[in-house]
Structure 1
C-alpha cells in the first residue's frame, strides 16, 4: 500500500462539511491504509477550541463507523486545532510554526494540501497569506482544494481564479464538484466507451433526446439565506448538471487520462449553443415551490421558509433544453431539470433512442398497432440514491398475436455494495493525494459553464417576473411539462404519477 505523507490544513475545520464529509472520508482512507502514520491535519476556524475539544469532534464524526476506542484515539491524535482569523497575518505565522513542527514530527517531507471549506470571499486572502508567510516554502508538493460555488457569475469567477493563480498553478488547484466522485457518474464513461453496442449508436442518428434529472425532496432548510441569493440555476445547473452533460456529450478521448478527458469535456461545453434572450425564454423555464402535501406530510412554500424574502423571485426549480452544435449531436435536445421540494430524491439520466423506421407489427392479425404504440428504447443511468442502469426494449406480449410490450433489462447495485462504495469525498480526497485532477473541474470548464448560465440568468433578471408556482411534492410547474410536450416528447421519469394514482398527491 502506497501510504501518503501529507499535512492537511482545513480552513473551516469546525464547519458542517468538515464534520459530515471530510473527517469521515479521511478516516476511511486511514482504515484502508491510504493514510498511514505519517500524516497530520490542522483544523482552523474562529472558535477557541483546544486540541482535546477538537479530538472529541473528530471521534463523534466517525462514530457511525464503530471504530474501537484505540483506533479512534490513534486517528484523532493526528489532528491539531488552531484558532484562526483568516485576515490576521500573525495567525499565519503561528500556522507556519505548527505546520513546520508537524512536518518534522510526522516525516511529511513538505507535502501540503490546503482545503478551503469556507466562503469564497476569503479564498484570495487565504492563498495570498499562505505565500507571503512562507507556508509554501517546502520541498514537497502544494495543492489547494476549493469548494463550490466558484464565483457567482463569470466575472467574479474569473477574478477569483486570477487571485488564486497568483499563488497556485492550475495543476495545483482542485475545484471540487462532489458529483464527479459518485460511482455512477464515473460509470458514464465505462458504459459509453467500453461497450460497442452503445458507443456505435451514441449520436444524432440513433438518439432522439437525452434527459438529466436531479431532484431533491427537501426544501432549502437552513440554507435559506444563501439559497435566496443563488437559486437552482447557479446552485445545480452551472456545476453538477453541466458536468454530467459534458461527460455524456464529449468525444471519445485519445486516452483515458486526466489531460485527454478534460480536453474533450471542454470541447463539449464550448459546443453548447449560446442562446439569445428570445431563445432563453423559449427553452428554459423556472419555478418556485408553494405549500403542498404528499399523503399526511405537509410542506410550506419557499417564501415562508426561514431567511427567505417574502417577495423573493428566486427560482427553486429549473427545466431547460440545451443544444450542442457539432456533427455528433446536431438536432438532439439535452433536457435538464432540477429543483427543491420535488416528489422524490433522485438523480438519473435517460437516453431516449429513436423509433424504428417502420413498425412491422402495426398490421398484425390481432388488430391495429400504430407507430406510436411502440415504446422507445431507453437507457437509464441511476446515479442516486440507487445506483445502476437499465435498458428498456420491446418484446412480444405473452399470448396470441404480436402485441409488443416494453421489458426492462436492469442492474442495480446491492445495498451492501452501495454501503461499501467509497463516498464521493473519500474518492476525491484520494485523487487529490495522488495528484489526479481527472474528477475535478478545470478553470476552462468553470469559465464556459458560467458563460452559458450567465446568459440565462441575465434574461431572467431583466424580466423580473415571479417564477410559476408548483406545489411542494410535485415534479415542477406545468411549464416544465409543456417544454417537452410542444416538441412531441415527455419526461421519462415521472415519480409523481405513482402518488397521484394512489390518491396521495393532487
Structure 2
C-alpha cells in the first residue's frame, strides 16, 4: 500500500454512480436554507454551498435564500453565513469568489408554522425566478431545523412554495424520530406531502470520503473480498471518539443521548456499508436494497451486549452533571458500546462492536477489522492482522501485518502497509461530507441518503435498548462513571475482550505523528 509519486488518473470509473442528466438541477434553481440563522447552517450548510460554488458545481445562475425566524438585514446575514468559511489571507481568488457568493444569497424572515409566512417566502422566490429566461423553475429546500418543526415546514413548503414548473427536492436532517414509533409517525407525515423520490434524508457520515471508499475497497479488490467474512474475521469495532463534553448543550443532548446521536445513525450506516452484499449495480436503489437486507438480519440489541458510561470531572474539566443545562441526577449515557450480530451466512458469529463517547482522550472515527489468529506451530503469540479504515481525522487505510525484523535474527514484528491520504494524494482536496451530499441532492442521486425502510429497520434494532435506557420498561440503568479525558469506562477492555478482541503487543504504534507533520 505504501507508495510514492503522484497518483495517476483513475481508469476504473463508476459511471452509474453519476445521476442522469435528466435528474440533475443544472439551471434556474433556487436553494432555500430553512433555519439559516442556526449553528448547522452557518457551520456546515453555507460553507458547503460556497465550496461547491467555488469548485463550479452549483447550477448556473443559482440563487440561495436563507429563511428563519430571526430578523436581520443583509449585512448581518452575510456576516453570519460566512463566519465559518475559511479563506487564506493571500487567497485573492477565494476572496473574490466569496464576494460573488454573497451577491446571490438573500435572506427573508418568517415563522415555521403559519401559511402567510410561507406565502411571503414563495413571493420572494417568484421574484427571483421572474428573471430566468426559460419557464423551468427548480427548487431545493434544505431543512437545517430541529425535528419539532419538520412536519409543519414540510407541509407549508408543499402547499405554498412548491414549484409547478420544475423539480422540487427537500433535504431533511437527522434525528429522524426518537424510536420506532416516532420515526414511523414522522415518515408517514412527510409522505403525505413529499414523495420518496423528492426526499433526501441526510446522514453526513455517508458523505465522508472514507465511508464512500469502503464500497471501492470491498468490491474492486479481490484481495480484500476473499477475506471479508466469518472464516477470516474475528471481530469488528466501529469507534467514534470526541475529546469534549456537552459544553453547555447538555439540555439538548440529554433528550437524545449518545446512542441516538451517534450509534443508531452514523455508526450503523458505516456498518451497513461494511457488511452489505455486492449490489447488482451502483445505482441508488441497488445499493440501498443491499443495506436494508443486511440490517434486517440484525436482531434487537441485548442488554448484556451493552456498556453505558457517563463522564465525570477530571483533568480540570467538569463532569456531565456539572453542566447547568443537564437535569440533576440524569442517567443519560455519554458513552455507549453495543455489540450487534448479523445472522446471515457471511457474518454469523462475528461480533460488531459499536463504540461512541464524549469527553474522551482524542478525536477519532475509525473501523478496526481484526482477523483471526494464524495457525499455531512455527509462530506463537504473534499479533493478529488488522485492517483499519481511519475515517477522520487524517484519513487512511492501513493493514497491520507481521514482518521479519531487519537484521540477522529471525523474529516477526508488527508493522503496516499504509495508505495515508495526506501522504499519497498530496495535491487532491478531500471534499467535505456536506459538499458531497448537497451535490448528490442537486444531481438527484439517492445513493448516499437514507431510505424510509432503512430507517424503519434501523430503529427496530435500537428501540428496545433505548426504551430500557429511558426507563420505559422499569428502572433505567445507571451508567458507569469514567474520567473526562480518558479512553472511556474502565470496564471497556473486559467488554471488548469477551468478544474475542486481542490487543496488539505494546511495542506497536501506528505512526500517525508522521501524518500531522505533513
The TM-score, its normalising length taken from structure 2, stands at 0.88
CA–CA separation in structure 1 for the residues paired with 2:229 and 2:72: 57
Deviation sequence 1:303-332 (CA, Å, 0-9, x none): 002301220100000012111000000011
Is 1:258 paired with 2:276?
A: no
Return 344-353 or 43-52, whichever deviates more. Answer: 43-52
1:501 maps to what in 2? none
Give the SS at the match of 1:246. Answer: helix
Cα distance change on mapping 1:491 and 1:432 into 2, 3 Å:
farther
1:75 maps to what in 2? 101
Cα distance change on mapping 1:318 and 1:492 into 2, 3 Å:
farther
Return 5-14 or 378-387, whichever deviates more. Answer: 5-14
2:497 maps to what in 1? 485
Counterpart of 1:290 (choices 296, 308, 312) is 312
Return 466-475 or 105-114, whichever deviates more. Answer: 105-114
1:417 to partner: Cα distance: 4.8
Give unpaired runs (5+ residues) of structure 1.
Answer: 362-369, 499-506
1:439 maps to what in 2? 448
1:380 maps to what in 2? 388
Give the SS at the match of 2:418. Answer: strand
Counterpart of 1:28 (choices 30, 51, 54) is 51
CA–CA separation in structure 2 for the residues paired with 1:82 and 1:487: 54
1:245 maps to what in 2? 271
Cα distance change on mapping 1:131 and 1:454 into 2, 3 Å:
same
Summarize the alignment of residues 213-362 of structure 1 with structure 2, pairs less than 5 Å apart. 213-275=239-301, 280-293=302-315, 298-361=316-379
1:503 maps to what in 2? none
CA–CA separation in structure 1 for the residues paired with 2:394 and 2:497: 28
1:403 to partner: Cα distance: 2.5
Return 222-231 or 430-439, whichever deviates more. Answer: 222-231
Q: 2:29–2:59: 8 Å Cα contact kept in structure 1? A: no
Deviation sequence 1:454-498 (CA, Å, 0-9, x none): 11112332342321001111111122222122344246799xx99
1:137 to partner: Cα distance: 3.7
Give unpaired runs (5+ residues) of structure 2.
Answer: 1-20, 511-518
2:486 maps to what in 1? 474
Deviation sequence 1:57-106 (CA, Å, 0-9, x none): 34444353655654333211111211111122111111111111112224
CA–CA separation in structure 1 for the residues paired with 2:37 and 2:428: 26
2:114 maps to what in 1? 88
Counterpart of 2:167 (choices 119, 141, 147) is 141
Deviation sequence 1:246-305 (CA, Å, 0-9, x none): 011100111112111100001111111224xxxx22111100001122xxxx21111002
CA–CA separation in structure 1 for the residues paired with 2:83 and 2:501: 49
Cα distance change on mapping 1:492 and 1:173 into 2, 3 Å:
farther
Cα distance change on mapping 1:178 and 1:418 into 2, 3 Å:
farther
Deviation sequence 1:21-67 (CA, Å, 0-9, x none): 11111111111211255111111111112234323334444353655
Cα distance change on mapping 1:233 and 1:171 into 2, 3 Å:
same
The TM-score, its normalising length taken from structure 1, stands at 0.90
CA–CA separation in structure 2 for the residues paired with 1:379 and 1:74: 45
Cα distance change on mapping 1:271 and 1:357 into 2, 3 Å:
same
CA–CA separation in structure 2 for the residues paired with 1:193 and 1:290: 44
Q: 1:481–1:491: 8 Å Cα contact kept in structure 2? A: no
Cα distance change on mapping 1:287 and 1:138 into 2, 3 Å:
same
Summarize the alignment of residues 154-233 of structure 1 with structure 2, pairs less than 5 Å apart. 154-233=180-259
2:129 maps to what in 1? 103
CA–CA separation in structure 2 for the residues paired with 1:418 and 1:426: 19
CA–CA separation in structure 1 for the residues paired with 2:272 and 2:188: 25
1:451 maps to what in 2? 460
Cα distance change on mapping 1:440 and 1:313 into 2, 3 Å:
same
CA–CA separation in structure 2 for the residues paired with 1:170 and 1:79: 28
1:160 to partner: Cα distance: 0.8
Cα distance change on mapping 1:139 and 1:320 into 2, 3 Å:
same
1:19 maps to what in 2? 42
1:403 maps to what in 2? 411
2:399 maps to what in 1? 391
CA–CA separation in structure 1 for the residues paired with 2:448 and 2:68: 28
1:113 maps to what in 2? 140
CA–CA separation in structure 2 for the residues paired with 1:347 and 1:491: 18
1:41 maps to what in 2? 64
CA–CA separation in structure 2 for the residues paired with 1:263 and 1:147: 22
Deviation sequence 1:427-469 (CA, Å, 0-9, x none): 1110000000111111111111111111111233234232100
Counterpart of 1:55 (choices 72, 78, 89) is 78
2:12 maps to what in 1? none
Total equivalences in the alignment = 478
1:6 maps to what in 2? 29
**Superposition RMSD on alpha carbons, in Å?**
2.3
Counterpart of 1:152 (choices 166, 170, 178) is 178
